[in-house]
Structure 1
Amino acid sequence: MHPTRRHFVLRSLGASALLATTARSWAAGYPDRPITFVCPWPAGGTADMTMRALCGAAAKQLGQTIVVENKAGASGMLGLKALASAKPDGYTIGQIPISVTRFSQLGTVQIDPLKDLTYLARTSGQAFGIAVRTDAPWKTLKEFVAAAKADPGKLTYGSAGIGGATHVGMEEFALAAGVQFNHIPYKGGAPALQDLMGGQIDALADSSSWAPHVKAGKLRLLATWGEKRTQDFPQTPTLREQGFDVVVDAPNGIGAPKGLDPAIERKLREVFKAAAASPEFTSACDKIDAPLMYLDGPDYEKYVAATYKKETVLIERLKLKELMAKG
């Protein structure tokens, strides 16, 4: 090798080694300042409550504060876009709504979930269900379906928005039942619940916002949407038990922007694994009847990829692009 060329190669190798050593040293000192956790939902909601409990447990492990920043809007996609666009230095992490696998294909958000994110952990699911008022004429899901068949498009239901888990889950159920509902989209589950209580809509498809009202005897729960019956409402059968092969649990997960240092990624995966098993987090999940669904980062990434494929089929089968175009 030419002396000048050899000198250049050796110098380059030395610089690379120095950079690698510096990166390892920097990662070893992580974190040396507070971490921002982007929650793509409003403060006080079920996702916010569980994520704050999770971050509190993780902060103890890290020896640093984790500041929860609520960036709500666009069915969780506003906050996720902010997360994906952040510097991949480990100081901005956040919740990844699984609906990104659907919204990215519908064009609602310019994120490729298979390329633009680092997956750290899947943590817990959600308890979804169909609720009606106790003075409603339908005592069972069977009666509700029969009424919908008798008068297609008359029965109304509210959801947290077009294209979200509750809207898609309800439409998937309608397809399986061979019925047609009149969907009334809201800007969240809370206003939809309020209108159900006030008699403006016939039914509500939502996560466990209905729970306290069911317990108080003001609402009737016709079905839950998980693999198994919920802990708080064991008397209510699932959709699958009632003959409709539909399961919706929309699990929450934790992630970071793409390009995270591998050493920092490993550390965060270890920390959130411990946090997901902590009394603080499990207690917060118990309060809203949310099932624990932990997966480590690599397995969570495989789950997202599988969900992406499932959503491709669902978008076509439910004609979601057409539904969203109608508004």
Structure 2
Amino acid sequence: MRLIHSRAPATGPRGRNASVVLAAIIALALPTAAFSQAWPAKPVKVVVNFPPGGAADQIARSLAQPLQEALGQPVVVENKSGAGGNIGGEAVAKAAPDGYTLLMSSGGMVSVNPHIYPKMPFDPAKDLVPVASAARVLVFLVTQPAFPAKDAKGFLAHLKANPGKLSFGSPGNGSSPHLAAEMMKSQAGVFATHVPYRGAAPALTDLLAGQLDFLFDPGVAIPHIKAGKVKVLAVGSLRRSPLFPDVPTLDEAGLKGFDADTVFGFYAPAGTPTQVIARLNLEINKALALPGPRERIAALGGEAAPMTPEQFRDKALEDGKRFGKVIREQKIVGD
């Protein structure tokens, strides 16, 4: 008769191997569990890879306070701009993966920059992990009030009648406003001179001063639009903005399928514990439901866009394909 043992023997090679494997699993699990329980034990830094005053900066600061209250630790926002967001991105990619350094960026750094910077000092897809989406940011085609065109169709006609005579600004080569303008130029068959800046706010300053003819604005010009200092002609999205329901999209103006929307959000260094990422995603999504952040994002003409880290990653991949096509066609390179 065969005896059936209720448990594996404690001695012998098989028993010793099982014990070793079990001990290894416990040893690996304990530090992670202990880390996630202790985190956060000190301030969390959020690096914004664009200058103060821009959309990324405003979104980060609107979420810092509710995130601080949820985590029980200070959340400090720090701006590290330059190279289309690469400087701030690299700083976070090379930071310790301990949950205390995060990045707030436009989606462009992940989905666009690898197409325009052949020698990036880091790989966004490998060195950063998505934490939480924050907002879908629209871009608005804006001009000075004295611009001769009164609507989007008239603007495109004016541009076509004056090839190379008009100039537009952007937050930098490869930024979503820059790509929006290049998409428009390609689809409409027009030409205008691009003037890159280090952020949306400086570009807007020069538009207000009459140094530029137009630009695609990621929301920082909205107070000036409402004050009558800037004229908005179209929305670079597939649907109209709730802020300006009477302003048509470029799709409606004849550029079929025109979509220059991007998603801004948080990233962490690769290797950051999954428990920490899950906690941050939960708290950021909760904060996006609060009136303060939602109103700040809406004031930029955007929409709160809570997602799981996986959904956020998939969105970046989708945008990378869409914008990559424009970059190749227009031969866009980084600064």
Is this a same-fold pair by TM over 0.5?
Answer: yes
Give the distance between the partners of 1:85 and 1:155, measured in 2 at CA: 41
| Mapped contact 1:158–1:184 kept (Cα < 8 A) | yes
> Is 1:104 matched with 2:114?
yes
Deviations 1:32-65 (A, max 9, x none): 2211111112233332122112121122222222
Query: Taking structure 1 as reference, are residues 43 and 188 closer, same or farther at Cα in structure 2, changes over 3 Å only?
Result: closer
| Mapped contact 1:39–1:69 kept (Cα < 8 A) | yes
Give the distance between the partners of 1:118 and 1:189, measured in 2 at CA: 26
Deviation at 1:218, TM superposition (A): 2.2
Query: Taking structure 1 as reference, are residues 288 and 151 closer, same or farther at Cα in structure 2, changes over 3 Å only?
Result: closer
RMSD: 2.3
| Mapped contact 1:160–1:206 kept (Cα < 8 A) | no
Report 1:43-122 matches (<5 A). 43-100=52-109, 101-107=111-117, 109-122=120-133
Deviation at 1:122, TM superposition (A): 1.0
Residue in 1 that maps onto 2:8? none
Query: Taking structure 1 as reference, are residues 293 and 227 closer, same or farther at Cα in structure 2, changes over 3 Å only?
Result: farther
Residue in 1 that maps onto 2:326? 314
| Mapped contact 2:132–2:267 kept (Cα < 8 A) | yes
> Is 1:265 matched with 2:300?
no
Give the distance between the partners of 2:122 and 2:163, measured in 1 at CA: 37
Gapped regions of structure 2 (runs ≥ 5): 1-10
| Mapped contact 1:225–1:247 kept (Cα < 8 A) | yes
Report 1:221-300 matches (<5 A). 221-244=232-255, 245-300=257-312
Give the distance between the partners of 1:44 and 1:168, measured in 2 at CA: 21
Deviations 1:244-299 (A, max 9, x none): 13111221111111112122222222111212212221121122222122211111
| Mapped contact 1:114–1:305 kept (Cα < 8 A) | no
- Amino acid in the other structure paired with 1:102: V
Residue in 2 that maps onto 1:18? 27
Deviation at 1:126, TM superposition (A): 2.0
> Is 1:139 matched with 2:150?
yes
Residue in 2 that maps onto 1:206? 217
Residue in 2 that maps onto 1:302? 314
Deviation at 1:16, TM superposition (A): 4.2
> Is 1:37 matched with 2:46?
yes
Give the distance between the partners of 1:299 and 1:43, measured in 2 at CA: 28
Deviation at 1:189, TM superposition (A): 2.2
- Amino acid in the other structure paired with 2:61: R
| Mapped contact 2:294–2:303 kept (Cα < 8 A) | no
- Amino acid in the other structure paired with 2:171: A
1:129 to 114, 117, 140: 140
- Amino acid in the other structure paired with 1:141: A
Deviation at 1:313, TM superposition (A): 2.1
| Mapped contact 2:179–2:260 kept (Cα < 8 A) | no
Give the distance between the partners of 2:77 and 2:202, measured in 1 at CA: 24
Residue in 2 that maps onto 1:190? 201
Residue in 2 that maps onto 1:220? 231
Give the distance between the partners of 2:158 and 2:31, measured in 1 at CA: 68
- Amino acid in the other structure paired with 1:287: A
Deviation at 1:242, TM superposition (A): 1.0
| Mapped contact 1:160–1:189 kept (Cα < 8 A) | yes
Deviation at 1:310, TM superposition (A): 2.4
Give the distance between the partners of 1:157 and 1:264, measured in 2 at CA: 42
Deviations 1:94-127 (A, max 9, x none): 2132112211122263333332222121110223
Give the distance between the partners of 2:263 and 2:21, measured in 1 at CA: 46
Query: Taking structure 1 as reference, are residues 204 and 105 closer, same or farther at Cα in structure 2, changes over 3 Å only?
Result: closer
Count of residue pairs brought into register by the alignment = 323
Give the distance between the partners of 1:15 and 1:142, measured in 2 at CA: 67
Give the distance between the partners of 2:212 and 2:71, measured in 1 at CA: 47
Give the 3-state SS of the residue equivalent to 2:137 in structure 1: coil
Give the TM-score normalised by the residue count of structure 2.
Answer: 0.88
| Mapped contact 1:94–1:255 kept (Cα < 8 A) | yes
Identity of aligned residues (%): 32
Deviation at 1:9, TM superposition (A): 7.1
| Mapped contact 1:57–1:280 kept (Cα < 8 A) | no
